A and B are shown apart, each in its own frame.
Chain A
Amino acid sequence: DSGVTQTPKHLITATGQRVTLRCSPRSGDLSVYWYQQSLDQGLQFLIHYYNGEERAKGNILERFSAQQFPDLHSELNLSSLELGDSALYFCASSGIAGGRETQYFGPGTRLLVL
Chain B
Amino acid sequence: GENVEQHPSTLSVQEGDSAVIKCTYSDSASNYFPWYKQELGKRPQLIIDIRSNVGEKKDQRIAVTLNKTAKHFSLHITETQPEDSAVYFCAASRRGNLIFGKGTKLSVKP
Number of A-B contacts (CB under 8 A): 64
A interface, size bucket: 20 to 34
The answer to whether B89 and A45 touch across the interface, beta carbons within 8 angstroms, is: no
C-alpha spacing A96/B31, complex, angstroms:
15
Once bound together, how far apart are the Cα atoms of A60 and B101, in whole Å? 18
Which A residue's beta carbon lies closest to that of B49?
A102
Q: A100-B32, A102-B49, A105-B44 are in contact. Are A45 and B96 (CB under 8 A)?
A: no
Chain B contributes a number of interface residues (CB within 8 A of A) equal to: 23
Residue pair B96, A43 in contact (C-beta under 8 Å): no
CB distance from A81 to the nearest CB of B (A): 22
CB of A43 to closest CB in B, whole Å? 4
Which residues on A are within 8 Å of B, measured CB to CB? 2, 31, 33, 42-45, 48, 55-56, 58, 90, 94, 96-108
